[in-house]
Amino acid sequence: MNTERAHAAPVPRAERTRSVPADAEAVFDVVTDLEHLSSWLPEGVEVERCGAHVVRLWVRGGIVERRLAVDWANLSVTWGDPVSPACTGVLRVLRLSPGRCAVSACLTGPAGLPAPRLDDWLVRALDALAARANGLVGERSRPVPA
């Protein structure tokens, strides 16, 4: 029996879907704007791009780097590491109708993080993403002052 694996802290998992009153493409633009991720990620997580297809995450327990894949045609972003199940995920923006979409996210957190805390973090992230997307949509629809 592998005692190292038997005593390893569990990797929490959270999955949520959130309706957003904005076009799917506008929401996906916010999701893929890596320079401004902190505008909608909850406090305590920082992300930066550190390569063409790699992001660095500062999370509880340290810094991790994960491969990042953006599927523009299907409005999805996947991040992960083939050898580690922690700090991985997929986020999809689903087209519902003009001016309305849904964001579906499934992610794992760092080992040992309580699952309810990860779920709360995901809820706050999706709420902030919806607010950020709605704010940008509102800015685009305002008339330009003369």
For residue 127, being part of any structural domain is answered with: yes
CATH label of the domain that carries residue 38:
3.30.530.20
For residue 3, being part of any structural domain is answered with: no
The pLDDT of residue 55 is: 85
Number of domains in the chain: 1
Q: For residues 66 and 81, is the Cβ–Cβ distance under 8 A? A: yes
For residue 93, being part of any structural domain is answered with: yes
Range of the domain at 116: 10-139
Q: Positive or negative, the Cα torsion across 96, 36, 65, 68? A: positive
Predicted TM-score (pTM) above 0.85: no
Instruction: Please provide residue 52's backbone torsions phi and psi, each rounded to the nearest 5 degrees.
Output: -60, -35
For residue 1, being part of any structural domain is answered with: no
In what order do the strands lie in the sheet containing 54-59?
Answer: 13-20, 100-108, 84-97, 76-81, 62-71, 54-59, 46-51
For residue 146, being part of any structural domain is answered with: no
Tens digit of pLDDT for each residue in 86-126? Answer: 888 999 999 999 999 999 999 998 888 899 999 999 999 99
Mean pLDDT of the chain: 84
| 98: CB partners within 8 A, 6+ apart | 23
For residue 49, being part of any structural domain is answered with: yes
